[in-house]
Chains A and B, each alone.
Chain A
Amino acid sequence: KNEVEQSPQNLTAQEGEFITINCSYSVGISALHWLQQHPGGGIVSLFMLSSGKKKHGRLIATINIQEKHSSLHITASHPRDSAVYICAVSGSRLTFGEGTQLTVNP
């Protein structure tokens, strides 16, 4: 079993839908990261959080330390949100989930 599990692996949505991507982890962490990777490869950091909730525009990330679970929500999804979303947890180094491929159709 991987230390970081994401679900779903693939997600297709219609423009405007509310999207949730989940991340569960099995190790103690100091922080959890959500990353976005567009076609072509570049990765950008969306959030780093260690408790509670963070919001940036239409993106919301939550974490429940007791449950060892985090969610990334996208409100009013748009085709430009199509990307791979990666969860990573930090202990002594980052450990990554396999990613969730999101496709938002117009």
Chain B
Amino acid sequence: DVKVTQSSRYLVKRTGEKVFLECVQDMDHENMFWYRQDPGLGLRLIYFSYDVKMKEKGDIPEGYSVSREKKERFSLILESASTNQTSMYLCASSPLAGGRQTQYFGPGTRLLVL
């Protein structure tokens, strides 16, 4: 079974802090994704990566950056956390790009920015 793990289930940070969210997948998938999920808005794509060191902006990249130094690991970075970044963050991976293949999701990280 594909396993996608995220470094934290719950995280509390203060405004202005730098925040790292880590995601690791164990199925050698090419593609990895970071989403945020907010009530009434559904899941929205922040960034995705289709290969090591490659990244593409999603629909809401402002205030975020990403890093993919190894194929299995995709990190989401909040350079200076703000209260409007309080959300549920979900990582996913898939063997194919776009939506042509099932995406496998991690358990999510609930981030609260005070």
Tell yes or no: B74 within 8 A of A by CB. Answer: no
**Of A30, A42, A91, A96, which one neighbours B43 at CB under 8 angstroms?**
A96
Establish whether residues A97 and B105, one from each chain, have CB atoms under 8 Å apart when the complex forms: no
Chain B: how many interface residues by the 8 Å CB criterion? Answer: 24
Establish whether residues B107 and A40, one from each chain, have CB atoms under 8 Å apart when the complex forms: yes
A91-B99, A93-B99 known; A41-B42 Cβ under 8 A: no
**Of A30, A41, A86, which one neighbours B99 at CB under 8 angstroms?**
A30
Q: Which residues of A contact B44 (CB under 8 A)?
A: 96
Distance between Cα atoms of A30 and B98 in the complex (Å): 10
Distance between Cα atoms of A82 and B92 in the complex (Å): 23
B-to-A contact residues, CB < 8 Å: 9, 40-45, 48, 58, 88, 90, 92, 98-108, 110
